[in-house]
């Protein structure tokens, strides 16, 4: 193992690897500044560039981005009070308070150094996990690997905060979508409806960018205004370094909590940073300064948010269970290269695992250094209205989706899933289980049939490893059920002695029609999958029918809850206990003005559709020259000078891109005629 580790380190002397690592780091820093993108957006946008690369170069690019997205998202949280990601909202509590006191440099120093240390400690944790888990992983057979795939989808759903039933439904629908195309057991086509385009299955990049990228743009494109308040960096760089050294125990504790949060599927950086913040408060003797500019409120969470990404890689590489959305896409990339996570990656590609470790550690240091050197320029980017950024992001995302299959059909799928992803986000459905289910669909089915062919009946379930995984799967469900019972008992005891709920708690009732629509879409999708699978051969229809039946059960529960919610809403006195009785399956509170947001999101998707129609007709470059200035002038309300410069720069970059990278620009119908 030491030989593999040293060989991986020596391989980084290759200039191509170092260049890819640097490009990934810079891209990750920029993506971290853009609200809503983070690691998911960074990996999804960079993933198409890796097609045609060798695995080491591709991994260096993606790991470089993944290691630093949570380093730069702190800049907007501290300087503007507008976090670049949900996990950075924890840092905002004390970081923004410091900035308003003229101590922004001190806060950023604490954040950058803590992120760097968290990334290095996370890389060390990943290194230690390899020899510790190696005997366990090598003992796995197909039954354990099958249970691991089930566990990956289920835990991502069960551990989804406050949305257990919705999380399971989303995970099952992701499995169904992942089964579109050729069956891995019988080589017959499923859910293609005679389409040659669907015969190869759906593009991972199109699904990820649609569900997360385009959905996020539609949610945020109404933000036309930039931040008007200006906060200077001030001094305090040296003070921040000295303070950070005095809180080294918080750095280690926060990083360890982040690794643990990363190992658990579906928990992610946001929960990890809040857990780290909670332990910092709990272990502090003086708690009065938390939220008012306490350095401990920055050090713990910032150490955790970078180590989470390293923790995500432990179950992804060693067990084939993606800990989060970025690692799910990384898993999909490995599968396209024929690299199977689990026993085979340890025995056949150990050097690649150590390359990931070294890349993560080096990128963490490089990211912190670049942030120190360019923080003034990065701060300017955070003040750009999101609507202006959205125009370029749409063009880049659609171009990225085209690279995997080279078909415009992927782009249409991407927009359709973007609308669906926006609906999921708006109605409280967690999207991470959906994508994880999509990635694990084929491995789950392959391992199941291999297990079924090697064992009689359910004898495989008596294996010790399988029984342990079943216990891990069932225990969170039992705990959620216990919490549900306790909530009902508490509600019954307090019934009649409760103050009126605030308006925010009533918001889900007012917008329950949309939640009902989402639950109905799930039920219809599962019913259609169940009916369509009846025409498949017995081997090809077994798993789809099992998943569809389970999905119908869970979506039926959702429909019952939503219909019951509406009936209670129509009664003279709505049942005040309904939200608590349905803990774990309730719709997240909608924001004020949700209807206006829905209208703007619809307009944004219509703009995207128009851009795609122009691309199909005239080609990508002509579509960009029409779409970008029109979107900037009409939607973002940018000045004419900004629109002209923006379009010109983007056009030149796109024109030069195919000669620099293995990228193809979509050609329109008129181009083919000429």
* pLDDT given at position 621: 92
Report, as an integer, the average pLDDT of 405-433: 88
Q: Report the C-alpha gap between 93 and 104 in whole angstroms.
A: 13
Residue 163: pLDDT band with limits 50, 70, 90: low
Tell me how far apart the alpha carbons of residues 501 and 505 are, in angstroms, rounded to a whole number: 6
Is the pLDDT score of 672 beyond 70?
no
Could you give phi then psi for residue 333, rounded to 5 degrees? -65, -45
Q: What residue ranges in 139-237 does DSSP mark as E strands?
A: 181-182, 189-190
Checking if the pLDDT of 579 tops 70, the result is no
pLDDT band at 585 (very low <50, low <70, confident <90, very high): very low
Mean pLDDT of 402-408: 80
599: which 2 tokens?
Answer: 């209208």
Mean of the per-residue pLDDT values for the chain?
A: 79
- Which range among 44-58, 121-135, 485-499, 538-552 has the greatest average pLDDT? 538-552
d(C-alpha 371, C-alpha 35), whole Å = 17
Q: What is the pLDDT of residue 82?
A: 60
Residue 325 has pLDDT above 80, yes or no: no
State pLDDT tens for residues 427-446: 888 887 888 888 888 888 88
Per-residue pLDDT averaged across 368-389, rounded?
77
Task: Look at residue 578 and tell me whether its pLDDT is greater than 60.
Answer: no
Q: For residue 186, how far is the Cα from the chain centroid?
A: 32
Mean pLDDT to the nearest integer, 542-556: 92
* pLDDT (0 to 100) of residue 228: 46
Q: Which pLDDT score, from 0 to 100, does residue 489 have?
A: 66
Most confident of 57-71, 262-276, 335-349: 57-71
State mean pLDDT over 218-230.
60
For residue 254, how many C-alpha atoms fall within 13 Å in the half-sphere facing its CB?
A: 36
The answer to whether 403 and 119 have CB atoms below 8 angstroms apart is no
Q: Which residue has the higher pLDDT, 431 or 235?
A: 431
pLDDT of res. 510: 40
Instruction: Let me know if 95 is exposed, middle or buried by CB neighbors in 10 A (0-12, 13-18, 19+).
Output: buried
Nearest to 540 by CA among 149, 179, 147, 171: 179
Check if the beta carbon of residue 378 is closer than 8 Å to that of residue 371: yes
Residues 249/250/256/261 CA torsion (nearest 10 deg): 170
Q: What is the mean pLDDT of residues 82-86?
A: 61
Residues 5-57: tens digit of each pLDDT: 677 777 777 888 888 899 989 888 887 777 656 667 777 778 877 777 888 88
What interhelical angle do 248-263 and 296-319 show, nearest 10?
Answer: 30
pLDDT of residue 379: 67
**Confidence category of residue 550, pLDDT binned at 50, 70, 90:** very high
**pLDDT > 90? residue 250:** no
Mean pLDDT over 404-420 rounds to 88
User: Model pTM?
Assistant: 0.76
Q: Percent of the chain having pLDDT more than 90? A: 14
Which pLDDT score, from 0 to 100, does residue 88 have?
A: 73
User: pLDDT grade, residue 608 (50/70/90)?
Assistant: very high
Whether the predicted pLDDT of 275 surpasses 90: no
User: 406: helix, coil or strand?
Assistant: coil
Which residues have a Cβ under 8 Å from the Cβ of 112 and sit 6 or more positions away?
71, 74, 368, 371, 372
Residue 419, pLDDT score: 93
Distances (CA, A) of 539 to 198, 361, 464: 20, 45, 27
DSSP letter (8 states) at residue 190 = E
Residue 592: per-residue pLDDT: 41
Confidence category of residue 611, pLDDT binned at 50, 70, 90 = very high
Q: Identify the H or E element spanning 303.
A: helix 296-319
The predicted pLDDT at position 81 comes to: 65
pLDDT digits (tens, 9 = 90+) for 93-119: 788 888 888 888 888 888 889 989 988
Give the pLDDT band (50/70/90) at residue 403. Answer: confident
Instruction: Give the per-residue pLDDT at 427.
Output: 86
């Amino acid at each position: 193992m030491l030989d593999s580790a040293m060989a991986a380190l020596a391989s980084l002397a290759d200039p191509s690897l170092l260049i890819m690592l640097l490009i990934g780091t810079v891209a990750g820093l920029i993506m971290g500044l853009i609200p809503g993108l983070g690691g998911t957006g960074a990996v999804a946008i960079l993933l198409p560039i890796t097609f045609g690369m060798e695995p080491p170069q591709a991994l260096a690019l993606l790991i470089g981005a993944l290691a630093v997205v949570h380093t730069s998202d702190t800049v907007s949280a501290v300087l503007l009070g507008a976090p670049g990601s949900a996990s950075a909202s924890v840092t905002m509590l004390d970081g923004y308070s410091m900035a308003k006191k003229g101590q922004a440099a001190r806060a950023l120093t604490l954040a950058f150094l803590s992120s760097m240390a968290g990334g290095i400690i996370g890389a060390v944790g990943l290194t230690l996990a390899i020899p510790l888990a190696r005997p366990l992983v090598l003992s796995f057979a197909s039954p354990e690997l099958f249970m691991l795939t089930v566990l990956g989808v289920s835990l991502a759903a069960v551990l989804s905060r406050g949305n257990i039933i919705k999380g399971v439904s989303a995970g099952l629908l992701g499995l169904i979508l992942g089964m579109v195309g050729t069956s891995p057991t019988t080589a017959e086509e499923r859910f293609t409806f005679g389409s040659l385009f669907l015969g190869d299955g759906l593009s991972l990049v199109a699904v990820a960018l649609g569900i997360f990228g385009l959905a996020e743009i539609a949610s945020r494109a109404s933000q036309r205004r930039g931040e008007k308040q200006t906060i200077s960096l001030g001094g305090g760089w040296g003070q921040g370094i000295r303070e950070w050294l005095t809180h080294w125990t918080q750095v280690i504790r926060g990083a360890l909590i982040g690794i643990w949060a990363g190992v658990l599927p579906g928990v992610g950086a946001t929960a990890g940073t809040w857990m780290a913040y909670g332990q910092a408060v709990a272990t502090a003797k003086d708690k009065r300064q938390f939220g008012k500019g306490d350095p401990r409120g920055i050090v713990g969470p910032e150490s955790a948010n970078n180590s989470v990404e390293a923790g995500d890689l432990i179950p992804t590489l060693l067990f084939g269970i993606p800990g989060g959305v970025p690692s799910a896409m990384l898993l999909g990339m490995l599968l396209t290269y024929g690299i199977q996570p689990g026993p085979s990656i340890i025995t056949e590609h150990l050097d690649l695992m150590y390359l990931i470790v070294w890349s993560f550690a080096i990128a963490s240091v490089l990211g912190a250094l670049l942030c120190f050197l360019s923080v003034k320029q990065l701060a300017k980017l955070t003040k750009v209205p999101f609507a202006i950024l959205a125009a370029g992001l749409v063009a880049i995302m659609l171009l990225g989706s085209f690279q995997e299959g080279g078909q415009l059909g992927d782009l249409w799928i991407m927009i359709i899933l973007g609308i669906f992803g926006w609906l999921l986000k708006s109605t409280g459905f967690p999207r991470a289980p959906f994508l994880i289910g999509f990635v694990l669909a084929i491995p789950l089915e392959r391992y199941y049939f291999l297990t079924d062919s090697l064992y009689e009946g359910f004898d495989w379930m008596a294996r010790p490893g399988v029984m342990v995984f079943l216990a891990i799967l069932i225990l969170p469900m039992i705990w959620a059920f216990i919490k549900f019972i306790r909530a009902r008992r508490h509600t019954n005891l307090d019934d009649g002695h409760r103050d009126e709920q605030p308006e925010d708690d009533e918001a889900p009732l007012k917008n329950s029609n949309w939640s009902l629509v989402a639950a109905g879409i799930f039920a219809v999708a599962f019913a259609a999958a169940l009916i369509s699978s009846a025409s498949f051969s017995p081997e090809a229809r077994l798993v789809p029918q099992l998943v569809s039946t389970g999905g119908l059960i869970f979506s039926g529960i959702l429909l019952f809850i939503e219909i019951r919610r509406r009936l209670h809403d129509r009664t003279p006195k709505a049942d005040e206990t309904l939200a608590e009785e349905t803990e774990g399956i309730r719709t997240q509170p909608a924001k004020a003005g949700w209807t206006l947001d829905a209208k703007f999101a619809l307009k944004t998707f219509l703009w995207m559709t128009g851009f795609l129609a122009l691309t199909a007709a005239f080609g990508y470059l002509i579509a960009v020259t029409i779409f970008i200035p029109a979107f900037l002038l009409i939607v973002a309300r940018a000045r004419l000078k900004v629109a002209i410069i923006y379009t010109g720069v983007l056009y030149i970059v796109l024109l030069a891109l195919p000669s620099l990278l293995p990228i193809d620009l979509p050609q329109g119908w008129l181009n083919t005629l000429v």
